[in-house]
Chain A
Amino acid sequence: MKLAPLDYKRPASLQEAIAILAAHDGAALPLAGGQSLIPILAFRLAAPTMLVDLRGVPGLDGIAIGPGGVRLGAMVRWRDIEDEKRLAAAWPLLPAVISHIAHYQIRNRGTVGGSLAHADPAAELPGLAVTCDATIEIVGRDGPREIPASALFVGALSTSLAAGDLIVGMRLPPWRDGRRWAFEEFALRRGDFAIVGVAAYYDLDDAGRVVDAHIGAIGVSEYPIRLTAAEQALNGSPIDDATIAAAARAACAMVEPQDDIHASAAYRRALVGTLTERALARASA
């Protein structure tokens, strides 16, 4: 569990970082907080020839809160999100989700961009991004571009990023007043990767019917997914026990989880229903 030999660079600008990454054509990896990458290297599961440390790159940190929503720089750490107390009112689902990520030590270092690029199927931030229509800001050798979060994740630990692409930030759309929301996660221990997590929010129209339901799950697929069938079961209906139960059933029915050493597929499927039900019950309470 020692790192294999590799080179290390600490560029001072975004352009320099991208130039190095592009020049190595996939053999160089960006290093942000290192909370996933360093263990991967120690286990020798990946063998890059170079690490490009992003610590010296200016402009990648910072949380911006405005009428257009919330923007998180790629080097924003979990700890920064916890410390930004305005988020509790401005985008309450975000800090609620972040509170489930790992432990203090890891939250002091783990970053938004690192979590998105690592693309763990059970990680919280990718789940939030997919559930909430986040936009991912990328700078590559051809300049900046934006993609919806749903287009970032293509498999377990696998993204659509090309060599030389760097995630520089993530934007969450505006949060409506009166929005109902909840996040439910089941992990074997507090702070572990989720067995299953469900994030949900919806708005109510003047007649008290659900509009714009967003429900997503982590831990049930190779990457986070929207539980669209559950959303359809909610939209246009008043929120009551029957609607919630219907949404939970729909959520269960649409996931195709896999067995692993921690939990069976059947268990994960049942958990999706249970957590969807609990999230909606809590959101509506």
Chain B
Amino acid sequence: MKAPSPMSPNTYVGQPIERVEDLRFLRGRGQYIDDIKRDDQVCAAFVRSAVAHGRVRSIDATAALAMPGVRAVITAADFDGPIPTIPFRRPNPSIGPYAQPVIASDKVRYVGEPVAVVIADTAERAEDAAQEVVLDIEELPAIVGMAPAEANEVLLFEAAGGNVASVFVGTLGDAAAAFAAADRVVRGAFRTQRQTAMPMETRGLLAEWNATTSHLTMFGAAKLPFFNRRAMAAMMNLPEAQVDYIELDVGGGFGARGEFYPEDFLLAFAARRLGCPVKWIEDRREHFLATGHARESACDIEFALRSDGIILGARGTLFSNIGAYVRPNGITPARNMVQFLSGPYRIPNIHFEGRGIVTNKTPAGTYRGPGRYEGCFYCEQMLDLSADKLGLDRLEIRRRNLLTDADMPYRLATISPSDGAAETFCDSGDYRSTFERCIIESGWAEKAQLQGRLIDGRYHGLAIGNFIEGGASGPQENARIDVEADGMVSVYAGSSAIGQGTETVLGQIAADALEIPFERITVLHGSTTYLSEGWGSYGSRGTVMGGSAVIDAAQGLIAKFRGAAAIALDVAEKELHIANGVASAPNGRSVKLAQMAGLSCDGSFKNSKATYTFGAAMAHVAVDPKTGHVAVIDYLAVDDVGRIINPLTLHGQVTGAAVQGLGSVFSEELVYDESGQILVGSLADYLVPLATDYPTIRCVSLENYPSPNNPLGAKGAGEGGIIPVGGVVLSAVTAALQSLGVRPRELPISPPKLWALIQQAAQA
């Protein structure tokens, strides 16, 4: 199968076009939120709870208000009526009581929860004064682990009566019957640690209130400006048209940045109350406390197997520590684990339960591949356990269970309660194709001789794992194309840019669809001022959904061009030949699209069928048993993305995500103590990978199986790179240490932790 030929003779799509964004980024000309300044702006600093669980007795701002430059101190007492809560992204019948109030009133439930906002003429003075706000909080017992939380030893929300905020059940076929028929049942319990997405640019916003027009403008939008506008308008009791979100350059999102946070509302509230622009730039220590955490999960699951390694079924429980409140996307990881744990493998009978459990930690949300990374990790470990128990080769058990094109479209587990995406189908592909290509491309046959061997003091290990990446989240994306007075073409898209090259990729798609040079196109995106409605960039949707909407707008524009050209040239529309941005009449006269200033066309793409990129990854590691250090000697990802729009930006996505995943495997962890204090407060303690840490990441991207679900044939590609990393790297480490009997069951496998496991195995 080959990708469909481009819809025009232009061939920007598929070419390694250099990112148009890079010219300004590399020359220091990006415009980030902190570059936006207003003459009359004031700055906010947040007073945050220093205790993990407590009852607010009093807040005394007297001293703070007397400090130089301080304009206001806002607390829950400044609200008439109930404190607004931040919105949920997914409907769910049980999560209502667990919503986060924008500011703490009676209780605080995590270290870092906003209790007061200090507004001063500079950020420094606001921070000085924030230190002088006196909080009297009666400390309550805190609960940080999922097991004691589930046992309701301490209740975070007395009215809710329990700490399990959500339960998702994922079912397929008849799991009970599959287990009854199994030759072998394998059970495993594994854990992944608490992390955060850690974009290099922290959050920041500038809220501007125009009292004359009663209009609020929020600068610093990301990810999903239109949803946030809707939510903000409702919370501010304004018509949607009186709120705008403006997207600037964004230094990384990864799922965390751009969601609706308590600070977002408090800044808008302060701006309206004070009548001047209010700015806030989150600092890094605050980022650790305030921006969404992710990934803290556990599983206790079983696989039912035939003796030949065919998986008959899977069942068990998946746990997600969602922190103190259900934030907008808080329950998504638990939900996704349930639906996507089976990943690229044919598991015909499934019964999983996924629980979202509240604890006294920073509320969690989504982080690149939410629930999918965790689920893939669990699935790959279960496959290793199963292969070992059955005496099968670890690659062979994967080969026997991978989905093939004969399975397509393939139904994944159905989710209950339903959330609009309860049913989903793998769309296209032979999942053995990337697996076999990975075996060849990685030189497995030769490398396998190193498996488990001790060479120069290090144990070598290799593994291959497989993954799918859901993309193209529905329901819709919008675009508009305008021909400008100077003949240039502006393409407006609802997709947001978070550093992934949206302007370049959508420009390529538009150039092909309009048959005009790429250089004539300017892509504008994200801000609510560009389109009446849009969605954004999350769930690997920005390119597929935005690009498809751009194609629709381009086709509409060409049709309008035909109409306008027919009038201009005084011929019938059907007599016109349109190519390369020129409409030509049979009599030789012609008119250019560039001459059609004012011509404009909206477009949209409606689709709720996800795309599924699939792939395999190979890791070759060498473990120093004396230090527990794991060197990643080689890492190779092979994926099939349906249609490659730009191999450079795709390569960047896959490589960057793989490195980010290696940070998850080895070094990043948000550590809490038993009282709910977070012990990590800087990037000296939260160890993200450095450029020098993982020099050998390779990726091969294929386009053999286009998606049938959109006109591009493209599939999402922003998250796939990270999804298999935990699973495949831990498998490689386990393979390396097989002779020592070491089988780690938790991430991260930092050197001290791996060393301890090696010591334990030696003593056993």
Contact = CB atoms under 8 A, between A and B. Distances in A.
A207 interface: no
Nearest to B667: A188
A157 interface: no
A3 B756 CA distance: 40
Nearest to B750: A188
A261 B685 contact: yes
B124 A3 contact: yes
Interface in B719-764: 750-752, 755-756, 759
Interface stretch (A26-34, A60-68, A189-197, A232-240): A189-197
| Best-surrounded residue of A4, A5, A263 (most CB of chain B within 10 A) | A263
A95 B124 CA distance: 40
B693 A190 contact: yes
B123 interface: yes
A267 B687 contact: no
B449 interface: no
A274 interface: yes
B680 A267 contact: no
Given A2-B127, A3-B124, A267-B756, A188 B751 contact: yes
B685 A267 contact: no
Nearest to B679: A261
Given A189-B667, A261-B671, A267 B690 contact: no
Contacts of B629: 186
A247 to B, nearest CB: 16
Given A4-B128, A261-B679, A270 B750 contact: no
Contact of B124 (A2, A190, A195, A266): A2
B575 interface: no
A191 B681 CA distance: 19
A5 B682 CA distance: 22
A2 B123 contact: yes
Interface residues of A, number: 25
A1 B755 contact: no
Given A190-B692, A261-B671, A274-B627, A5 B128 contact: yes
A8 interface: no
B687 to A, nearest CB: 5
Interface string A69-96: 0000000000000000000000000000
A35 B112 CA distance: 27
Interface in B600-634: 626-629
Nearest to B680: A261
A44 interface: yes
Contacts of A195: 751-752
B592 to A, nearest CB: 51
A108 interface: no
Contacts of A266: 756, 759
Interface in A253-275: 261-264, 266-267, 270-271, 274
A263 B687 CA distance: 13
A195 B750 CA distance: 12
A117 B283 CA distance: 28
Nearest to B755: A267
Interface string B687-712: 10110110000000000000000000
Interface in A1-57: 1-5, 39, 43-44
B589 interface: no
A50 B127 CA distance: 19
Contact of A267 (B283, B681, B682, B752): B752
B131 A186 contact: no
B752 A264 contact: yes
B456 to A, nearest CB: 12
Nearest to A275: B627
A192 B679 contact: no
B752 A262 contact: yes
Contacts of A3: 124
Nearest to B124: A2
Contact of A270 (B681, B685, B687, B755): B755
B284 interface: yes
Nearest to B283: A1
A193 B685 CA distance: 10
Given A186-B629, A262-B752, A270-B626, A44 B283 contact: no
B400 interface: no
A193 B687 CA distance: 12
A175 B690 CA distance: 36
A43 B284 CA distance: 10
Contact of A193 (B284, B680, B684): B684
Nearest to A103: B690
Contacts of B273: none
A44 B684 contact: no
B577 interface: no
A89 B690 CA distance: 31
B285 interface: yes
Interface string A167-209: 0000000000000000000101111110100000000000000
B226 to A, nearest CB: 32
9 contacts: A1-B283, A1-B286, A43-B682, A188-B751, A190-B690, A190-B693, A264-B752, A267-B628, A267-B752
Interface of B: 123-124, 127-128, 131, 283-286, 626-629, 667, 671, 679-682, 684-685, 687, 689-690, 692-693, 750-752, 755-756, 759
Given A3-B124, A44-B131, A189-B667, 18 more contacts: A1-B284, A1-B285, A2-B127, A4-B128, A39-B682, A43-B682, A188-B667, A188-B687, A188-B751, A189-B687, A189-B693, A190-B692, A192-B684, A195-B751, A261-B671, A261-B679, A261-B685, A262-B750
Chain A to chain B: the 8 pairs with minimum beta-carbon distance, closest first: A1-B283, A263-B752, A267-B752, A2-B124, A274-B626, A2-B127, A261-B671, A261-B679
